[in-house]
Structure 1
Amino acid sequence: MELARRLTLTDAVAIGLGSMIGAGVFSVWGPAIEVAGSGLLIALAIAAVVAFCNATSSAQLAAVHPVSGGTYAYARAEIGPWWGFIAGWCFVIGKIASCAAMALTFAAYAAPDGWQVPVAILAVAALATVNCFGVTRTALLTRILVIISLIGLTVVVAGGFTASASATPAPLPDVTAYGVLQGAGLLFFAFAGYARIATMGEEVVDPARTIPRAIALALTGAVVVYALIAVVVMLTLGADAGSTAAPLAAVVDAAGWTALAPVVRVAAASASLGALLALITGIGRTTLAMARESDLPRFLAAVHPRWKVPQRAEIAIAIIVIVIVLFADLRNAIGFSSFGVLLYYLIANAAAFRQSGAARRYPRVLQVVGVLGCLVLVNTLPIVASLIGTGVVLVGVAYRMLRLRLVR
């Protein structure tokens, strides 16, 4: 059974923004400042360039292959089944780690001490339930959460520029090339939300036109927001941003706007929920596509006859995320997520590079820059995250090899 095309351009942009705003703004500044130091804006620019190259590749591929699964489906069609499997597997494992990170970020802002893990688990269960009752409900809720997030971020930017005139931020670490690149790799975690638009290609109205426009609009909006927040955090907190779990609330406190701190916490919680909601949605569609090809258990390929969503896949994902939340560390979750997603986009760029003729929308040089950028950034990530990521990718490869052998 096929999914229904119900998402408009506005819905798709909202889902993309909901995936990006929240992931970066409320969870990545501390780790990024610690490694990039005063080169934070350079790291942000590098991450944005790599993300732009990846976004154009995703848009070009999605316009020709308007089906669920994102690069899993694109790479299967353009390069071959093995490359599609590796892309899909990297996406699923990387984004499941992102789900855990977003659930923990939500709980850090919304729950009192000692209650973070139960609240994170409750958030995952609640949003998975929303997804099970139709994609239009997902888009509507995401749009509401994005609006709430932007209101809170407006307060942060206004407070930050007010405080910066008299603030004496802690000196930032010196710039090193490796630190800037590692910071870019961590910040890339924040930009990966546009993939959610492409993975939902089977549910978007007029996908050849809507998906490229939605990706470009969502990415542009996210870059503007990130740049403003990065400047504010550097001017008001400096190196101290790395020592607080809620840096944007600290910015408001530095401005003397303590009465508005709850607004920021509500915005942070809303942004994290929006990102988590869109993440679960996107992973569910890639899981559905992989299950249809037997690269994951066929049991997960079912689409609910009434709500037209892959309920089994989304329930399975929610269970795995809940298990990870019980043992997760936020920083390692971000690094592990970046590892999987960078490999995913490396394959996306390679698949887009092979397209020609009427399918080609962007110059090949963008795909070359995207491949090189992904290779550089993935090799600068924290070593623990890279080692774990490599091991999990190899487990997936071994699973597919065993399945193919059993089929033969």
Structure 2
Amino acid sequence: MSNKENGKLGLLDSTTILIGGMIGSAIFSLSGMTILCAGPACIISWIIAAIILYAYGLQTAELATVYPSSGGVFVFPAEALGKTKKQKKLIGWITAWAYLFTCIGGAAFSATYVGTYLGVGFPSLANAQIVIAIGTIVVCGILNLFNISVTGKANTALTILLAATMVVFVVVALFSGQWDAAMLTPFFTQGSAGSWGFMSAIPIAMVAYGSIVAVAFMVGEIKDPNKTVPKAMSIAMLIVATLYILVMIAVLGLVSSQYLQENSGMAYIPLYAAAFTKLASIPWLIKLISISAVLALITTILVLIALAGRTLQAAAADGVLPMSFAKNNEKTKVPTVSLEVVIVVTAILTVFPSFTSMIVNLGALCSVLVVAVICISVIAARKRHPYVEGNFRAPGGNAIPVITIVALVACYVPDIIRGGWQIWAYTAIYLVIGLIIYFIGAGKASD
């Protein structure tokens, strides 16, 4: 039986899109930042982040059954929280604007590290990192311009190969004779952020799981979404969280937080650092890591570009952006103009690799804001729409969204106390820019 119906995605392709979207830049680059910050305790960060994002994913799956339209990050808050048309448009745009940076910044970051990993694995490419990054965005963008089922097929093939290479790395690392459990002690105090560093690392780890909502936000292109979306999320999260934890354990037994603090260039390529410092006697492993990282980063970029394009499409359909952004190509049924804009903006960001740290932190906070808004939207949607028998409903009642929001706030308290207010200021500036775009677009729409 075909996994797709009328060009839509079934359970297999939906699951692999989620896996491919989640296994990407985070484990191959951001994981180093969590080790730097929290040391071995970052394992807890990754587990807590998985739990928070899984709860978030199930809440978006519920919203997808209530509001079955693609572009969910715009549609869900707008419909659940807005009472008037103007309110819906404004709420939807603010949430979508925050989410756009998460997607576009994440794609740009991932493309930058495609060049980085290829450069360390294949030295002849070391001076072509920016060119490789731009080329990666263009290729992933072109794949997104095809029918979604074509993108799904490409993603499925890449994801299966990617998972295989990650398993090989874990097995080689753990049984190499170089892995040392003693490096995991002391557990809580090795990181640069001290005993509570694992709390500060949670938002960064959350970025890794952010694509758990991909199929909910593309619900209009999913076969039987009421069943497919939550099933795909559950399967994907179980697989990804397991792989992440195994990889983190493998790396932490080879590379310490202290080493990454002393060698800051290695902080964004921790798997390479592990192979370079302790597994140099296995020369093919470095190339395997480079290939695996590239596959992971590409699958992430594919998903993030798709999500960003459909977010712009939803905003345009509601009158915030020009209507050309909302139109699907007659043959491919994808929002061509929106995707082309995403491709161009993302490619431009890759030209400035020195802003990597700012992009990561701003993207993490934007992601947290979106999660919080979606949680509030779930509570509001339940009040406004009576439950329909047979529809999916996230477990735990209203306690789960409330707990999720409390956990998010708690994650940022340590950084705020230590004076980490700057990223909030950058986020405020970014949101003001979004409001300016909104009022310009809304004004034109009302003319």
Alpha-carbon deviation of 1:177?
5.3
Matched residue type, 2:106: S
The answer as to 2:145 corresponding to 1:132 is: yes
Q: 1:174 to 1:286 in 2, by over 3 A?
A: closer
Report if aligned partners of 2:108, 2:347 keep a CA contact under 8 Å in 1: yes
Unaligned runs of 5+ residues in structure 1 are none
Q: Distance in 2 between matches of 1:232 and 1:238?
A: 11
Matched residue type, 2:100: V
- Indicate the larger mover: 242-251 or 120-129: 242-251
Alpha-carbon deviation of 1:113?
1.9
Instruction: Specify which of 308, 331, 337 is matched with residue 357 of structure 2.
Output: 331
Q: Distance in 2 between matches of 1:175 and 1:182?
A: 8
Report if aligned partners of 2:319, 2:442 keep a CA contact under 8 Å in 1: no
Q: Distance in 2 between matches of 1:157 and 1:137?
A: 31
> If the length of structure 1 is used for normalisation, what is the TM-score?
0.93
The answer as to 2:136 corresponding to 1:107 is: no
Report if aligned partners of 1:70, 1:198 keep a CA contact under 8 Å in 2: yes
Unaligned runs of 5+ residues in structure 2 are 1-5, 83-87, 120-124
Per-residue CA distance 1:161-208 (angstroms, 9 max, x = gap):
124655475973377354222111111110101121111111000111
- Of structures 1 and 2, the larger Rg is shown by 2
1:56 is aligned to 58
Instruction: Specify which of 56, 66, 74 is matched with residue 72 of structure 1.
Output: 74
1:322 is aligned to 347
Report if aligned partners of 1:95, 1:341 keep a CA contact under 8 Å in 2: no
Alpha-carbon deviation of 1:405?
4.7
Q: Distance in 1 between matches of 2:356 and 2:235?
A: 29
1:83-122 alignment, distance < 5 Å? 83-111=91-119, 112-122=125-135
Q: Distance in 2 between matches of 1:361 and 1:49?
A: 14
Per-residue CA distance 1:84-122 (angstroms, 9 max, x = gap):
222111111221110111101111112422211110001
Matched residue type, 2:158: L
Alpha-carbon deviation of 1:5?
5.4
Q: 1:342 to 1:371 in 2, by over 3 A?
A: same
Instruction: Specify which of 387, 391, 411 is matched with residue 358 of structure 1.
Output: 387
1:224 is aligned to 242
The answer as to 2:270 corresponding to 1:247 is: yes
Per-residue CA distance 1:330-369 (angstroms, 9 max, x = gap):
3222212111111111111111112334264322111111
Q: Distance in 2 between matches of 1:52 and 1:170?
A: 27
Q: Distance in 2 between matches of 1:374 and 1:259?
A: 41
The answer as to 2:303 corresponding to 1:269 is: no
Q: Distance in 2 between matches of 1:224 and 1:102?
A: 22
Matched residue type, 1:364: N
- Indicate the larger mover: 356-365 or 261-270: 356-365
Q: 1:403 to 1:194 in 2, by over 3 A?
A: same
Report if aligned partners of 2:146, 2:334 keep a CA contact under 8 Å in 1: yes
1:2-401 alignment, distance < 5 Å? 6-80=8-82, 81=88, 82-111=90-119, 112-163=125-176, 167=180, 169=183, 172-173=190-191, 176=194, 178-239=196-257, 240-241=259-260, 243=263, 244=266, 245-253=268-276, 254-255=278-279, 256-328=281-353, 329-356=355-382, 357-358=386-387, 360-362=393-395, 363-377=397-411, 380=415, 383-401=421-439
Alpha-carbon deviation of 1:37?
2.0
Q: Distance in 2 between matches of 1:162 and 1:250?
A: 17
- Indicate the larger mover: 251-260 or 13-22: 251-260
CA RMSD across the alignment: 2.2
Alpha-carbon deviation of 1:223?
0.9
Q: Distance in 2 between matches of 1:200 and 1:166?
A: 42
Q: Distance in 1 between matches of 2:315 and 2:68?
A: 15
Matched residue type, 2:60: S
Q: 1:151 to 1:241 in 2, by over 3 A?
A: farther
- Indicate the larger mover: 238-247 or 309-318: 238-247
Q: Distance in 2 between matches of 1:377 and 1:401?
A: 33
Report if aligned partners of 1:104, 1:120 keep a CA contact under 8 Å in 2: yes
SS of aligned partner of 1:115: helix
> Number of paired residues?
406
Q: Distance in 2 between matches of 1:134 and 1:87?
A: 27
Report if aligned partners of 2:37, 2:197 keep a CA contact under 8 Å in 1: yes
Q: Distance in 2 between matches of 1:215 and 1:338?
A: 21
Q: Distance in 2 between matches of 1:78 and 1:5?
A: 29
Q: 1:122 to 1:166 in 2, by over 3 A?
A: closer
